[in-house]
């Protein structure tokens, strides 16, 4: 632990999420400080570091992780860079909060899982932030309490106002529906065994090459069914909703967020425009929980196993999307470290 006992965090990647996490650790999170920032863009990283007391800019993640004032690592670089950063963090035995995806495919996620097992203890928390959203936390507690009986189905909606220019069709699965994969595994405490993707006639507003929206179906090893509407170019805002249908009732989250106003013959509220705004509190709680657990010397939250399982479901999902077929998910047996 660095001066005043604050956890010195190296934030790797200063893009949208990385920059938001730098701001968060600097201004919101207690018990931590941004000791280092890393980005291949030397100018950008220098500018980010300049705004923060005692923060050193680096262009090489390995150099930041070797610095004496770095106690922990937050990885927010693009997915393909995660594996190398995770393995480097393991070399220094540093605790890691890794933004989703853990890695972009199941084979690389498996290599990370094996490397963490060689360490002999968990080091990674994966950034599936919905597990920290107050509404989802209440839904989880309700389902786990058993009052509604067994969950039979989940109906999910995941809508983005628009997508960035680099977005591709597989990203509907790998980047967006990956959240519902983790959410379903977490809420149901079941593994996803097969994925099917169905397509309606696409919206005229989708970019070239992206069939949007899509309906993604999961089957689980507990006999539940999950349907996910992914609509990445809905135009009106960012919405994430989930309804659990159980033996003795249903429960739904994500409908209204914030204030409802009556005004000039209308009734209603506002819709967040992006995930940074909608899940701000979840991100805050997620990072605080990671810092608190790290300072206690423990690792909690979504594990590398959860990251691997989501990657395996994503692989099946992308194949289902490309072929129109039902694709079975291939998972290894859960290693002892993650039971």
The answer to whether 128 contacts ligand ISE (rule: CB under 6 A) is: no
Which residue is it, tokens 């498996």? 110
Kind of pairing between the strands at 214-220 and 225-231: antiparallel
Minimum gap (Å) between residue 235 Cβ and ligand ISE: 14
Kindly state the smallest distance separating residue 275's Cβ from ligand ISE, in Å.
4
Choose between 178 and 329: whose C-beta lies nearer to ligand ISE: 178
Which of residues 160 and 214 has its CB atom nearest to ligand ISE in the complex? Answer: 160
Site string for ligand ISE, 206-225 (x = CB under 6 A): --------------------
Distance CA 235, CA 161 (A): 4
Q: Are 148 and 187 in contact (CB under 8 A)?
A: no
| Peptide bond between residue 3 and the one before it cis (omega within 30 degrees of 0) | no
Among the residue ranges 38-46, 173-181, 210-218, 310-318, the one whose residues contact ligand ISE (CB under 6 A) = 173-181
Q: In what order do the strands lie in the sheet with 151-159?
A: 249-253, 239-246, 151-159, 225-231, 214-220, 192-198, 327-328
Site string (257-276) toward ligand ISE, x via CB under 6 A: ------------------x-
C-alpha separations of 207 from 157, 202, 221 in Å? 20, 10, 36
Burial 263-275 (b: 16+ CB within 10 A, else e): eeeeeeeebbeeb
**Are 39 and 13 contacting, i.e. CB atoms less than 8 angstroms apart?**
yes
Contact criterion met (CB below 8 Å) for 179 and 130: yes
User: Minimum CB separation from ligand ISE for residue 274, in Å?
Assistant: 8
Query: Of 83 and 99, which has the nearer Cβ to ligand ISE?
Result: 99
Which range binds ligand ISE by CB under 6 A, 35-43, 175-183, 207-215, 261-269?
175-183
Task: Tell whether residue 169 is a contact of ligand ISE (CB under 6 A).
Answer: no
- Considering only residues 176, 190, 288, 303, which one is a binding residue for ligand ISE as defined by CB under 6 A? 176
Q: Which stretch binds ligand ISE (CB under 6 A): 57-65, 72-80, 87-95, 172-180?
A: 172-180
288-307 residues in contact with ligand ISE (CB under 6 A) are none
Structure tokens at 67: 């610095």
CA 42-45-48 angle, 5° bins: 150
With contacts defined by CB under 6 A, how many residues of the chain interact with ligand ISE? 5
Instruction: Give the residue closest to ligand ISE by C-beta.
Output: 176
Q: Can you tell me the distance from the alpha carbon of 158 to that of 124, in angstroms, rounded to the nearest whole number?
A: 26
Least CB distance from residue 135 to ligand ISE, whole Å? Answer: 15
Name the segment binding ligand ISE (CB under 6 A); options: 50-58, 171-179, 219-227, 303-311.
Answer: 171-179
Single out the residue of 174, 132, 170 nearest to residue 290, CA to CA.
132
The torsion angles phi and psi of 45, rounded to 5 degrees, stand at -70, -35
Residue from 175, 182, 212, 306 in contact with ligand ISE (CB under 6 A) = 175
Q: Please report whether residue 179 would count as binding ligand ISE according to CB under 6 A.
A: yes
Q: Which of 160, 174, 294, 321 lies at the binding interface for ligand ISE (CB under 6 A)?
A: 160
CB of 129 to ligand ISE, least distance (A): 8
With beta carbons less than 8 A apart as the criterion, state whether 226 and 217 touch: yes
Choices 103-111, 131-139, 174-182, 218-226; region in contact with ligand ISE by CB under 6 A: 174-182
| Binding residues vs ligand ISE (CB under 6 A) | 160, 175-176, 179, 275
């Amino acid at each position: 632990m660095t001066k005043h006992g604050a956890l010195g965090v190296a934030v790797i990647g200063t893009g949208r999420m990385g920059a938001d996490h730098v701001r968060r650790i600097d201004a919101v999170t207690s018990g931590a400080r941004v000791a280092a920032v890393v980005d291949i863009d030397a100018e950008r990283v220098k500018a980010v570091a300049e705004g923060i007391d005692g923060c050193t800019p680096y262009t090489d993640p390995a150099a930041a992780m070797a610095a004496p004032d770095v106690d922990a690592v937050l990885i927010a670089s693009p997915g393909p860079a995660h594996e190398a950063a995770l393995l480097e963090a393991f070399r220094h035995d540093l605790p890691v909060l890794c933004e989703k995806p853990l890695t972009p495919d199941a084979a690389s996620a498996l290599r990370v899982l094996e490397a963490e097992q060689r360490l002999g203890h968990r080091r990674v928390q994966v950034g599936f932030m919905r597990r920290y959203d107050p509404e989802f936390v209440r839904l989880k507690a309700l389902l786990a309490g058993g009052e509604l009986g067994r969950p039979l189905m989940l109906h999910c909606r995941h809508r983005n106002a628009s997508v960035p220019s680099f977005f591709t069709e597989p990203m509907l699965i790998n980047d967006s529906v990956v959240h519902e994969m983790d959410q379903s595994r977490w809420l149901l405490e079941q593994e996803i065994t097969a994925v099917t993707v169905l397509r309606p006639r696409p919206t005229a507003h989708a970019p070239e090459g992206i069939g949007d929206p899509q309906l993604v179906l999961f089957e689980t090893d507990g006999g539940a069914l999950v349907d996910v509407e992914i609509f990445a170019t809905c135009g009106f805002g960012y919405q994430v909703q989930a309804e659990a249908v159980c033996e003795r009732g249903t429960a739904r989250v994500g409908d209204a967020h914030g204030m409802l106003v009556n005004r000039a013959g209308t009734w209603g509220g506002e819709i967040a425009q992006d995930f940074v705004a909608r899940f701000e509190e979840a991100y805050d709680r997620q990072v605080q929980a990671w810092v608190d657990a790290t300072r206690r010397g423990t690792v909690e939250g979504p594990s590398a196993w959860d990251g691997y399982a989501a990657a395996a479901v994503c692989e099946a999902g992308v194949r289902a999307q490309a072929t129109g077929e039902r694709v079975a998910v291939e998972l290894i047996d859960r290693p002892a470290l993650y039971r």
